[in-house]
Amino acid sequence: GGPVSRGLAFTPIAPVPAAVDAFSVPAGYSWNPIIRWGDPLFAATDRFDPEHQTAASQARQFGYNNDYLDILEGPGRKGRDGILVTNHEYTNENIMFAPATTPAEADEQRRIAMMAHGMSVVALERKRAGQPWTYRVGDRLNRRITASTPFTVTGPAAGSDLLKTKGDPTGRTVLGTLGNCAGGTTPWGTVLSGEENFNGYFRANGTSTADARYGLANRPTGRLWEQIDDRFDATVAGNENEPNRFGWIVEIDPEAPNEPPVKHTALGRFKHEGANVIVGKTGHVAAYMGDDERFDYLYKFVSHDRFDKKKSPKARTHNKSLLTRGSLYVARFTGNSPAAEITGTGQLPADGQFDGTGQWVALVIDGVCQVAGFTTDDALVNTRLVADAVGATKMDRCEDVEPSPVTGKIYVACTNNSDRGRLGKEGATEANPRAINRDGHIVEITETGSDATSVTFDWNLLLVCGDPKTNTSTYFAGFPSDKVSPISCPDNVAFDTEGNLWISTDGAPSTIGFCDGLFKVPLVGPERGRVQQFLAVPRQAETCGPVIRSEQSMVYVAVQHPGEDGSWAAQASRFPDYVAQRATAPAGAWAGPRPSVVQVWKP
């Protein structure tokens, strides 16, 4: 049968071998980069010059390693104006820079890397909906947020002693955002982004239970930023709490370029993959969030106040306060099949489903900690410890978690977990049924009464991923496995206009030997579970974003870390321009990749 989406029909592409350095789309589609690492945002004179980058120029250019992405289409201009919002998770210094020859050069490379982190807001324009965009240099909305941009802290832990440092004795203003991974656009038009692997940026005392639980240690960091800014050295007196100021959900308003971005303490602190918000039946909003670490947890925040659906500035201001006050829950999954039937091989139990019921266990209700022995500040700043205490379910790395705007069901990408069956670990469970989960799985959750504010739910696994040609433990919601595209390591998810799930992957080259890609999966009807590959990203890249506008036959992805295993002298990818050297660089200087936001359209 043909694909279901109206307006975005395609014949699935064949899986692309891992060594191929190409961006691959279905027959009949075109692609180009909208914006690339180093492209100028504020003046054309800030052009990318990889041999002569400075921190000052990078702060005025598009950052590195774009991950979360949305394309907000301006109202009232028939789809001709847009705003691109993305984050910049981290930097690949090994391919960005020639090896430094002096300490001063090494320090400047560190400052450039700091300016290549964070987020970007970029104004777009085009002739009409469905046509490719170009970005506008110097637009009033264009914005860079970096490792030094001031953020305002909101919520119950703002001003807490656990957030105070010598640089910020109030505990209310944090410089910068780091490790921004997935995210979500809110029903009120702002963008959320998750601070994920923040621990890698800090040298810390590493002696407390919390430091150990969050992976903070007393050893030099990989990037050595602590050598040029003692904020990154939490062993320095007065800086002990600096790592507590990262690991939050951040929110920016792309239409308010002068408004400080915020960090929301009410949503807890962990290795936040991202957050996606849906308005519940009662008008309260729920934010679904994953903590991306092996054996870590799935969370939900429910707002105290209700969403105001009016379009007025007053309603927008109110809605921007929704994530500052409410309740924080962690998920506990219970399987309905006998434990003996969960063998760790991924084989289905006798009832034919990995499924069961679940509970959202309250950690904090309306700003008050619900767990004996912990304060509210503990629950919000060291959330993992409090979630440990209530026996939350250990998951196989929750990446993106997103409610369907069509059905309200929630989809959780568990990317992989090779350690589940190891000695001393808990082994397979019905919600995480492989002892060695190389390829990951997708959990489908139905809230009781289909209400996002419920405290109980039903769940089942939609997909148990892998290449069915070489792996007998895959499951595609009952769809014949010989008729699907192989898929491994699901990471970011999105929905098209019709409610089909789209999944982007990170890690397939090392598990099934194919480049990462973007896949469509119908969720209802006879095609439920039919995974179809739409695109593949180049060698060593991860597929991020994605944004699906099926009514316009357009797809957008953020191509992260292309050619990441190369070096300055021996680059592994030339994406996206595929020229032997950069036009702006001296002869022979640069033939490397540029992480980019790509648009795919039907000419």
Q: Which residues bind ligand FEO (CB under 6 A)?
A: 89, 181, 196, 273, 292, 399, 491
| Residue 353 engages Ca ion in binding (rule: CB under 5 A) | yes
User: Nearest-CA neighbor of 307 among 283, 277, 329?
Assistant: 283
Helices and strands, counts by H and E, the chain: 8, 32
Residue 196 site contact among Ca ion, ligand FEO, none (CB < 5 to 8 Å, cut-off depends on kind):
ligand FEO
Question: Based on CB atoms, which residue is closest to ligand FEO, 399 or 444?
Answer: 399
Residue 336 site contact among ligand FEO, Ca ion, none (CB < 5 to 8 Å, cut-off depends on kind):
Ca ion
Residue 337 site contact among Ca ion, ligand FEO, none (CB < 5 to 8 Å, cut-off depends on kind):
Ca ion
Inter-residue contact 137 to 40 (CB < 8 Å): yes
Cα first-last separation, the chain = 24
Residue 402 site contact among ligand FEO, Ca ion, none (CB < 5 to 8 Å, cut-off depends on kind):
none
Nearest distance in Å: CB 196, ligand FEO: 5
| Residue 234, burial from CB neighbour count under 10 angstroms (0-12, 13-18, 19+) | buried
User: Nearest-CA neighbor of 55 among 102, 116, 120?
Assistant: 116
User: Nearest-CA neighbor of 220 among 240, 235, 209, 208?
Assistant: 235
Among 46, 108, 226, 355, binds Ca ion (CB under 5 A): 355
Question: Given the rule CB under 5 A, which of 252-260, 377-385, 402-410, 490-498 is the region that contacts Ca ion?
Answer: 490-498
| CA–CA gap between residue 393 and residue 387 (Å, rounded) | 9
- DSSP letters spanning 333-369: EEESS-GGG--SB----TTS--EEEEEEEEEEETTEE
Residues 6 or more apart in contact with residue 575 via CB below 8 angstroms = 21, 23, 537, 538, 539, 541, 559, 562, 563, 593, 594, 596
- How many of the chain's residues bind Ca ion (CB under 5 A)? 11
| Residue 491 engages Ca ion in binding (rule: CB under 5 A) | yes
Inter-residue contact 531 to 543 (CB < 8 Å): no
Q: How far is CA 61 from CA 73, 532, 583, in A?
A: 22, 35, 17
Nearest distance in Å: CB 177, ligand FEO: 14
Nearest distance in Å: CB 430, Ca ion: 6
Question: Based on CB atoms, which residue is closest to ligand FEO, 196 or 240?
Answer: 196
Residue 527 site contact among Ca ion, ligand FEO, none (CB < 5 to 8 Å, cut-off depends on kind):
none
User: Nearest-CA neighbor of 274 among 402, 440, 414?
Assistant: 402
Question: Based on CB atoms, which residue is closest to Ca ion, 50 or 274?
Answer: 274
- DSSP letters spanning 420-471: TTSTTS---BTTB-BSSBSS-EEEEEEEGGG-TT-SEEEEEEEEE-B-TTT-
Question: Based on CB atoms, which residue is closest to ligand FEO, 21 or 292?
Answer: 292
Nearest distance in Å: CB 544, ligand FEO: 9
Nearest distance in Å: CB 273, ligand FEO: 5
Inter-residue contact 235 to 218 (CB < 8 Å): yes
Inter-residue contact 443 to 412 (CB < 8 Å): yes
The residue number with the shortest CB distance to Ca ion is 337
| CA–CA gap between residue 434 and residue 343 (Å, rounded) | 8
Our measurement of the distance from residue 517's CA atom to the centroid of its chain's CA atoms, rounded to an integer in Å, reads: 15
Interface positions, 371-390, toward Ca ion (CB under 5 A): none
Nearest distance in Å: CB 430, ligand FEO: 23
| CA–CA gap between residue 234 and residue 271 (Å, rounded) | 18
Mark residues 148-187: x for contact with Ca ion by CB under 5 A, - for none: ---------------------------------xx-----
Question: Based on CB atoms, which residue is closest to Ca ion, 70 or 491?
Answer: 491
Mark residues 500-519: x for contact with Ca ion by CB under 5 A, - for none: ------x-------------
Question: Based on CB atoms, which residue is closest to ligand FEO, 273 or 378?
Answer: 273
Question: Based on CB atoms, which residue is closest to Ca ion, 355 or 447?
Answer: 355
Nearest distance in Å: CB 158, Ca ion: 27
| CA–CA gap between residue 487 and residue 345 (Å, rounded) | 18
Question: Based on CB atoms, which residue is closest to ligand FEO, 73 or 292?
Answer: 292
- Nearest-5° Cα angle at 413, 411 to 415: 170
Nearest distance in Å: CB 198, ligand FEO: 11
Question: Based on CB atoms, which residue is closest to ligand FEO, 274 or 408?
Answer: 274
Nearest distance in Å: CB 560, ligand FEO: 9
Residue 291 site contact among ligand FEO, Ca ion, none (CB < 5 to 8 Å, cut-off depends on kind):
none
Query: Residue 423's CB: how many other CB atoms inside 10 A?
Result: 6
Q: List interacting residues with Ca ion (CB under 5 A).
A: 181-182, 336-337, 349, 351, 353, 355, 399, 491, 506
